[in-house]
Amino acid sequence: MNVLDVSRRIVCSFTPIGSFPSLGANCYSWVDLRDSFNLFTWLVLGAVLQGLASLYLSPRYVLLPVIGYLLHRALWTLFMYRGLVRNPHMDEVMIGKFTAQVPGRDGSPPQQAAEQDITVIILAARSN
């Protein structure tokens, strides 16, 4: 057994949560295939498929994949907006207004919202 077989066995035995099923003995997944190409390559592949569809299909059916994809994305965005589906871009984001509380001289949290007359301006933003 050589080093490549051992490393392949270690990599193939690791299955992260939410991983796709393996495609074969080489332990490659659909995610590996997707990540092997950049965005431009996927756009060119889609353009080629759309061009082939326009050659072989009736003109009324050529836009169905594009309209279907746009409808899918619009509905998915609406579901995320309504809270029916988890929005991965909003993980660890605190919704609403929050204020900073200045601790006391001994480091303990204040008993009231404003024990001292002080103004604290905190400018912060988080963008995913």
Encode the chain (128 residues) as per-residue pLDDT tens digits.
444 444 445 445 555 555 555 545 556 677 777 788 888 998 999 899 988 988 988 888 888 888 998 999 999 999 988 989 888 888 877 777 766 677 778 888 777 766 566 676 767 766 66
Question: What pLDDT, on a 0 to 100 scale, did the predictor assign at position 8?
Answer: 47
Considering the domain boundaries, does residue 77 fall inside one?
Answer: yes
Residue 126 lies in a domain: no
User: Which range of residues forms the domain containing residue 57?
Assistant: 3-89
Number of domains within the chain? 1
pLDDT at 5: 47
The whole-number pLDDT of residue 2 equals 46
Do the domain assignments include residue 82?
Answer: yes
User: Quick one: residue 100, left, alpha or beta (phi over 0 = left, psi -120 to 50 = alpha)?
Assistant: beta
